[in-house]
Amino acid sequence: MLQAIGVASPSVSFSDHYNKFSVSSIRSFPVIRSDSRLISVSGSVHGSFKPKKVIAKATATQTESSASAASKPGHELLLFEALREGLEEEMDRDPRVCVFGEDVGHYGGSYKVTKGLAEKYGDLRVLDTPIAENSFTGMGVGAAMTGLRPVIEGMNMGFLLLAFNQISDNCGMLHYTSGGQFTIPTVIRGPGGVGRQLGAEHSQRLESYFQSIPGIQLVACSTVYNAKGLMKAAIRSENPVVLFEHVLLYNLKERIPDEEYVLSLEEAEMVRPGEHITILTYSRMRYHVMQAAKTLVNKGYDPEVIDIRSLKPFDLYTIGNSVKKTHRVLIVEECMRTGGIGASLTAAINENFHDYLDAPIVCLSSQDVPTPYAGTLEEWTVVQPAQIVAAVEQLCLIHISSYTHSLAFPTMTSSSNWRRKLFDLSMKYSVQTRLLVLNFYVKKRKNLGCLRVSEAENLGSSWKVGHYEKFLDRVDVGRDRRISDESWLEVECY
């Protein structure tokens, strides 16, 4: 459950201001944008508000690359075909690339990712193995140590639990324990995630189990474009890479460029830029998030959606820039609640960007439940778009409680200079509103070091210096205490 951001009731000195002032008179909720554009909205006090302006573009553009993709028509294909194309291009390019897996050869792969490759490259390069995951993964490690570049397919990611010994000890650690003598350039790939009523054991999300293993990289592909790019990058990488695909995404169709491209294994993908909240997601949940984004945009929110793609290591640069911009984070993942990718990501963001957060990070994950067979139950174990919409709405509110009421204010965004925060509290808003909001920030931002107060020009003297004296008592007043004629209230944090 989301926590309401509680602010202690205003102190007694303000209550007289406050009591004059009934709930019903609050009509407008300022939505303050960091570029000082104001969207003035009206609505009732208890939560919802309807914007006058609707942001036109709800969903992100499909192609992630720059305009060059738009100039060339490219070709359309399905995700599993894109994976195959990537694999085939790499096998053509380097004769040491080979594929091990169950039914990858003659059968063409249980999801047809390796269809046709055995006819083209032979049975030894596209090796049909017996059902011995631990051993053929180990075989892949041994082959990698002696010069080959195997791509090991787990028919379902869950089967790789049987190969955990080899993946953890040998793939992950051998480069280190051999003092850097041997490299293990393997790619371990396979479909995972919750499918359509596949049952508990075929619906596992192993990214959380693998993430602690030192020495491996985890990537998750989500679109046709990044599937091919990540497959190629993983094969070319000298590190062992685990590439997570999703069972339900294999039939996605998209147009991708004709020319060769390789994506970075460590970077995240900006799906939809926005201002209000950062939504971090990966794999199939990207589509649930985008569906929720449509709804949110119609409601007036502007979410920024990032597909993190690299599950280990996290791209803290892209994520950090986003957090610094929006100050609110929602993580939507299909992993389990306990110890999942979201849990790690929450910890990483808290550690690195705590000062930029205006609200606790919310993480929506699957329930800690073995995925049931029944369709209705299965739906409830996984995060659905409606839940995402509700979570965003909750996160974008601040609750300020008083003695008698709780008032809700939309979020205040601020410019992202991390040492100064500017709040645009222009004369449109009543003094009480401004004071309450300021009160909130004083309480929350304990490092509020200085208060610079200014008066509006030409707008009368509603702003009284005296109003702020109580604040000045509470904060550590620095040398910059002065009053000028500007219409901005600047609050400086030291």
Partner 1 sequence: MACSATAQIIQPLSINSARSVDNSDACAKILNPSSFLVSTPRINKKLFSVNKSISPFARRSATVFAVSSDVVKEKKLKSNSSLSNLLITKEEGLELYEDMYLGRAFEDMCAQMYYRGKMFGFVHLYNGQEAVSTGFIKLLKKEDCVVSTYRDHVHSLSKGVPAREVMGELFGKTTGCCRGQGGSMHMFSKEHNVLGGFAFIGEGIPVATGAAFTSKYKREVLKEDCDEVTLAFFGDGTCNNGQFFECLNMAALWKLPIVFVVENNLWAIGMSHLRATSDPQIWKKGPAFGMPGVHVDGMDVLKVREVAKEAIGRARRGEGPTLVECETYRFRGHSLADPDELRDPAEKAHYATRDPITALKKYMAENKLAAEAELKVIEKKIDELVEDAVEFADKSPVPARSQLLENVFADPRGFGIGPDGKYRCEDPKFTQGTAHV
Decide: is 244 part of the binding site for partner 1 (CB under 8 A).
no
Decide: is 185 part of the binding site for partner 1 (CB under 8 A).
yes
202 is catalytic: yes
Decide: is 129 part of the binding site for partner 1 (CB under 8 A).
yes
Task: Please tell me the distance from the alpha carbon of residue 244 to that of residue 173, in angstroms, as a whole number.
Answer: 20
Task: Please tell me the distance from the alpha carbon of residue 186 to that of residue 215, in angstroms, as a whole number.
Answer: 12
**Using CB under 8 A, which of the segments 16-24, 231-239, 301-309, 369-377 binds partner 1?**
231-239
Nearest to 157 by CA among 233, 220, 225: 220
Q: How far is the CB of 89 from partner 1 (least distance, A)?
A: 18
Residues 295-324 that bind partner 1 (CB under 8 A): 310, 312-318, 320
Q: How far is the CB of 412 from partner 1 (least distance, A)?
A: 24
Task: Please tell me the distance from the alpha carbon of residue 163 to that of residue 156, in angstroms, as a whole number.
Answer: 12
Task: Please tell me the distance from the alpha carbon of residue 396 to that of residue 411, in angstroms, as a whole number.
Answer: 6
Beta strands across the sheet bearing 310-312? 126-128, 97-101, 149-153, 187-192, 241-246, 217-220, 310-312
Catalytic residue among 102, 133, 245, 334: 133
Angle between helices 224-236 and 79-93 (to 10 degrees): 30
Q: Cβ closer to partner 1: 109 or 138?
A: 138
Decide: is 229 part of the binding site for partner 1 (CB under 8 A).
no
Q: How far is the CB of 108 from partner 1 (least distance, A)?
A: 20
Element containing residue 414 per DSSP (H, E): none
Q: How far is the CB of 254 from partner 1 (least distance, A)?
A: 26
Cα–Cα distances in angstroms (integers) from residue 380 to residues 92, 179, 258, 293, 336, in the given order: 44, 47, 40, 20, 13
Q: Cβ closer to partner 1: 34 or 168?
A: 168
Nearest to 32 by CA among 319, 296, 409: 409
Q: How far is the CB of 270 from partner 1 (least distance, A)?
A: 14
Within a 13 Å sphere around the CA of 221, how many CA atoms are in the beta-carbon half? 32
Determine contact, residues 357/328, Cβ cutoff 8 Å. yes
Q: Which of 114, 170, 278, 322 binds partner 1 (CB under 8 A)?
A: 170
Determine contact, residues 284/222, Cβ cutoff 8 Å. yes
Q: Which of 114, 137, 203, 402 binds partner 1 (CB under 8 A)?
A: 137
Q: Which of 89, 103, 267, 490 binds partner 1 (CB under 8 A)?
A: 267
Q: How far is the CB of 69 from partner 1 (least distance, A)?
A: 23
Task: Please tell me the distance from the alpha carbon of residue 102 to that of residue 159, in angstroms, as a whole number.
Answer: 11
**Using CB under 8 A, which of the segments 44-52, 134-142, 193-201, 391-399 binds partner 1?**
134-142
Catalytic residue among 202, 246, 276, 288: 202
Q: Cβ closer to partner 1: 252 or 262?
A: 262
List contacts with partner 1 (CB under 8 A). 95-96, 98, 122, 124-125, 129-130, 132, 134-148, 165-166, 169-170, 174-185, 214-215, 217, 237-239, 265-267, 310, 312-318, 320, 352-353
- Known catalytic residues are 133, 202
